[in-house]
Amino acid sequence: MRGIVTIITAPFVVAYQGTRLLLLSVAWSVMYAMRMQKGFKKWRLKVKPAHGDADFASESDLKAGGHLRSDGWLVGVIERPGRILTWRKRRQCVFTASEGCAIGMAPRRTGKTQTAIAQLLELAARPHKPDVIIVDPAGDICAGTEEAYQAAGYDVKVINFIDPRGSETYDAFSYLRPYMVYDFDRQVDQLGQLIMPDDANTREAHFQEFGRILLSGTIAYLIREKQEDATLYRAVELLTTDAKARNAMFTDMRKSPDAIVRQAVNAYDEAGDKERGSFSTTMTRKLKVWLRQGVRTLMATGEIDDLGHIVRGWTWEEIFRGEVPTVVYIRTGLGTDEGAAARLILGNAINTRRYMFNEGVTKFNRDLRILVDEAVTIGNCQAIIDATNELGKAGVRVMLWYLSTRDVYQTFPNAKTLVNNSDILIFGGGKEMDAYEDFSRMIGEKTIENRGYSQSRQGESQSASEQARRVIKADELRRMPFYEMVAVLGNNGVKCLKPFTIVNPTTVLYDGS
């Protein structure tokens, strides 16, 4: 009888126990979720250390910021323990953000050029190859990378102002489009800014502005009215070397229908004799480099077509629209003024990219990468500032290498804007302690526990207090070993290894080569 009762009641017992367990599970799950939510809220609202919690970026921080993807400029190499064999180091390259521009501060003999070579070798090895412009005053970057770019399928152009024989030429006026009614005057003004930039610290800004107005008016006049004589050399020659020819040109310019041309002559006419002397001195100082035979030879093709017009040669727009990636090396030499020519060439490239973007070309075939070694040689370049501030969407990325931060502030009137919008690569070995102090403050402070110990007749005592400490002090930055570096990438500070290994005096390898 008991067995029969058990058989009859068993389903009800099972249903009861199952329901009971299910309800208990739900209750425990709700309680656990509430505890998790409470713990997460407590963690999120926890009090941060009183003196800061800065630190170098972890691998997860770099990954979240996009600094482990090969989209930006190569920065360095980080080492992490192996995932399985923890004693074996994993090496991983670190990059700037995809649209990031960067400034490298590297004293001499600390691996500046080797790092630049590693950055360019990495670009050549990418599946999506950008167009590249390299300002290489000494010529050693070309020697270390040209073969790799040829092997990668690049069209290689070398503009060599040290030895123009056999060098590629570039006509500065090929940037201008006189048939564009609403854009030509703007292009002439941009060209004038590249030829005669403002000095960073000067008391004669109005003299420079006057010279630029006169130069722009002369260029516009020659392009529109004297196409058979429209070269940069001729424009400078007329303004600075031949007063008789200049006055004759001014007489003709006064009749021009172009208001920009007439404005330039009017500014000259309105100036007094004393002011004209100052204007003339300023223009001679700023424009003399364009009269050098090496510059004259390479800044024009020297060819005339059947109609008597000057053949301008290749243009940046043709390169940007072409199917083959192009690398352009510009060798200007050290301690010369030919850096002004490099400024004009790369400035025209940037301004070409801008007007193409403004005209609706939002998707370019390739990015444009510009690397400038010994960037102090190109002087103040407004196009560089514009590229850093505005042209990320147009695919322009700039890498500038300087020996010190003082060079930046003595070159650019608005240097703070340039530094503020760029990532910074910092090498040790310098003596500019105020710069290292600034970099140390950028990386931030952390809170440490300062322990104290004292002993007296009453016994021993220990104490502890919190205090601030820089993540890395200025003197620690200065004393970094040769292969170590620090980078400020957005809001992340990164300590890593330089991305090269010197195998012998003529061989530089980057991680992954």
Amino acid at 48: K
Q: Which pLDDT score, from 0 to 100, does residue 238 have?
A: 87
Helix (H) or strand (E) holding 43: helix 2-44
Per residue in 367-424, pLDDT (tens digit) is 999 999 999 999 888 999 999 988 888 889 999 999 988 889 888 888 888 898 899 9
End-to-end CA gap in the chain: 86
Coil/strand/helix, residue 81:
strand
Q: Would you give the distance in Å from CA 92 to the centre of its chain?
A: 22
Cβ burial of 246 (10 Å; 0-12, 13-18, 19+) is middle
Cβ neighbors of 454 (< 8 A, separation 6 or more) are 460, 461, 462, 463
| Residue 52 structure tokens | 């800061």
CB 486 within 8 A of CB 495: yes
What is the pLDDT confidence band of residue 147, given thresholds at 50, 70 and 90? very high
Q: Would you give the distance in Å from CA 467 to the centre of its chain?
A: 37
| Residue 36 structure tokens | 């998790």
**How many beta carbons lie within 10 A of that of residue 200, not counting itself?**
15
Distance between CA atoms of 493 and 251, rounded to whole angstroms? 61
Q: Which pLDDT score, from 0 to 100, does residue 266 have?
A: 84
Backbone angles phi, psi at 140, to 5 degrees: -75, -25
CB 151 within 8 A of CB 135: no
Per residue in 66-76, pLDDT (tens digit) is 888 888 899 99
Cβ neighbors of 472 (< 8 A, separation 6 or more) are 56, 440, 443, 486, 493, 495
Coil/strand/helix, residue 66:
coil
> What structural domains does the chain harbor?
63-170+314-448+464-509 (3.40.50.300), 172-298 (1.10.8)
CB 194 within 8 A of CB 339: no
Q: What is the mean pLDDT of residues 340-348?
A: 92
Q: Would you give the distance in Å from CA 406 to the centre of its chain?
A: 17
CB 425 within 8 A of CB 96: no
Per residue in 154-183, pLDDT (tens digit) is 999 999 988 888 889 998 888 888 888 788
> Packing angle between helix 184-195 and helix 339-358, nearest 10 degrees?
160
Per residue in 176-216, pLDDT (tens digit) is 888 887 888 888 888 888 998 887 666 666 667 777 888 88
Distance between CA atoms of 270 and 179, rounded to whole angstroms? 31
Distance between CA atoms of 399 and 163, rounded to whole angstroms? 26
Distance between CA atoms of 171 and 405, rounded to whole angstroms? 33
Per residue in 250-285, pLDDT (tens digit) is 888 888 888 888 888 887 777 766 666 667 777 788
Amino acid at 365: N
Q: Which pLDDT score, from 0 to 100, does residue 350 have?
A: 94
Q: Would you give the distance in Å from CA 300 to the centre of its chain?
A: 28
Q: Which residue has the tokens 């002090």?
A: 473
Helix (H) or strand (E) holding 112: helix 112-124
Coil/strand/helix, residue 92:
strand
Amino acid at 118: A
pTM above 0.85, yes or no: no
Q: Would you give the distance in Å from CA 20 to the centre of its chain?
A: 67
